[in-house]
Amino acid sequence: MNLETFRSETRGFLEANCPQSMRNKALHFEDAHEIYSTADADLWLNCMAERGWTAPTWPAEYGGGGLDFESNRVLQEELAAIKALPPATGMGLAMIGPTLLEFGTEEQRQRHLPKIVSGEVRWCQGYSEPGSGSDLASLQTRAVLEGDQFIINGQKIWTSGAQYSNWMFALVRTNPGVPKHDGISFVLLEMDQPGVTIKPIQLISGSSPFCETFFDNAVARRDDLVGELNKGWTVGKRLLQYERSATSVRTKKKGKPVNPYAKIAKAYFGEKSGKLSSPDIRNKITRQTMMEKSLQLTIQRVAEESKSGKAPGAATSIFKLVGSTLAKEGSALKSEVRGVSGMGWEGDSFTADELESTRGWLRDRAVTIYGGTNEVQMNIISKRVLGLPD
């Protein structure tokens, strides 16, 4: 099938099957559970999963769509054209799935990947601990191999979506008697078992996307060790590269693009001679827009370089640092241009957009901390990518 025929058929399929309620929405991971817990979301997931289009580039033998780069680009363009939300999101698709494709055994792929594609199973990440955040390799959660299973004891923190997850991928210490990077293993474990306790953490924004997770003789199968025993640091680092590269490239939409910052500023500051009346705000918006566009083009360049199907390269190391910084600065700017209206928490004197602006500003204060602080990201880039000395 040529690309134009594929585009035409894809456009018709999406228009006929994507519910209106799954279009024209902003998606943030804190709100994802509510957005995807509806009948329309289930309908959208099921019809896309039947084609493997929840994971369109994964091999068909694991439930994926088996699309090549060009066909997937057409699919993403047509999804963007109708402003459709992704049919599924989460760490299964963005993180553990690609990792299993690279490091997993054939049995692990057959057992786990189709359930990720179908949305039957949700995943969470067990990396950070109360004493091992920025220095992740110092983690202390222990896993002792007894026969055909690991017995796990310890605690993880900031486990996003743990209260909704069926499985966790985790880094655990399997050999405490060697240098810290050398005694870590990468395991998969079920969340619905007596040895796992989950406690959500409420944030300043009012939501609870993160959790504490406690292990008291929790069990993981020996068959769910990914990679070699005590060599999990290599697998764990690669997964983080997939996480960094999971930022999607926004496709261009028809018509003149709308600058969201300028649109808000015009409503609250007004215009003078066709320009925003505040030179200071105008300069801030210009800088923010230029930085966001630069990041977008860099991501697009990396995607083009990955056409060969190789794993993400070193350039992905900047995505978390730059992307999180711009997200935080963008949320702060949207509140700033609203003035006092961008500081409301509740009350009829504020619009829904103004209240969401406040929550977004507070919520995004954390994006330069979780997933690896900006300081840690700069250390990684300087040492691991640029090869600079300590």
Please report which confidence band the pLDDT of residue 249 belongs to, taking 50, 70 and 90 as the band edges.
very low
Pairing of the two strands 149-157 and 142-146: antiparallel
Evaluate whether 123-230 and 247-385 have a shared fold.
Answer: no
> CB–CB of 65/55 below 8 Å?
yes
Residue 165 has pLDDT above 90, yes or no: yes
Packing angle between helix 317-337 and helix 279-305, nearest 10 degrees? Answer: 150
Average pLDDT (176-181) is: 92
Average pLDDT (332-341) is: 92
Rounded to whole angstroms, how far apart are CA atoms 170 and 243? 15
Rounded to whole angstroms, how far apart are CA atoms 150 and 164? 23
Rounded to whole angstroms, how far apart are CA atoms 41 and 148? 39
In this predicted structure, what is the pLDDT of residue 247? 45
- CB neighbour burial string for 325-334, b if at least 16 within 10 angstroms, e if fewer: bbbbbbbbbb
**Residue 390: how many CB atoms within 10 A of its CB?**
5
**Domains in the chain: boundaries:** 3-89, 123-230, 247-385
CATH number of this structure's domain 123-230, picked from the four choices 1.10.490.10, 3.40.1360.10, 2.40.110.10, 3.40.50.1110:
2.40.110.10
Helix H or strand E segment including 220: strand 210-221
In this predicted structure, what is the pLDDT of residue 123? 96
Rounded to whole angstroms, how far apart are CA atoms 376 and 378? 5
> CB–CB of 245/316 below 8 Å?
yes
In this predicted structure, what is the pLDDT of residue 255? 46
CATH number of this structure's domain 3-89, picked from the four choices 3.30.1510.10, 3.90.1010.10, 1.10.540.10, 3.90.78.10:
1.10.540.10
pLDDT in tens, 275-300: 888 889 999 999 999 999 998 888 87
Q: Which residue has the higher pLDDT, 285 or 240?
A: 285
pLDDT in tens, 192-230: 999 999 999 887 766 677 899 999 999 999 999 999 999
> CB–CB of 375/247 below 8 Å?
no
> CB–CB of 265/337 below 8 Å?
yes
Share of the chain above pLDDT 90, in %: 57
Please report which confidence band the pLDDT of residue 251 belongs to, taking 50, 70 and 90 as the band edges.
very low
Rounded to whole angstroms, how far apart are CA atoms 384 and 276? 43
Q: Which residue has the higher pLDDT, 312 or 166?
A: 166
Please report which confidence band the pLDDT of residue 272 belongs to, taking 50, 70 and 90 as the band edges.
confident
Please report which confidence band the pLDDT of residue 310 belongs to, taking 50, 70 and 90 as the band edges.
low
Q: Which residue has the higher pLDDT, 274 or 81?
A: 81
CATH number of this structure's domain 247-385, picked from the four choices 3.30.70.120, 3.40.50.300, 1.20.140.10, 1.10.1060.10:
1.20.140.10
Residue 9 has pLDDT above 50, yes or no: yes
Average pLDDT, the chain: 88
Catalytic residues: 243
Q: Tell me how far CA of residue 17 lies from CA of 20, 43, 60, 81, in angstroms.
A: 9, 8, 21, 14
Rounded to whole angstroms, how far apart are CA atoms 281 and 275? 11
In this predicted structure, what is the pLDDT of residue 25? 75
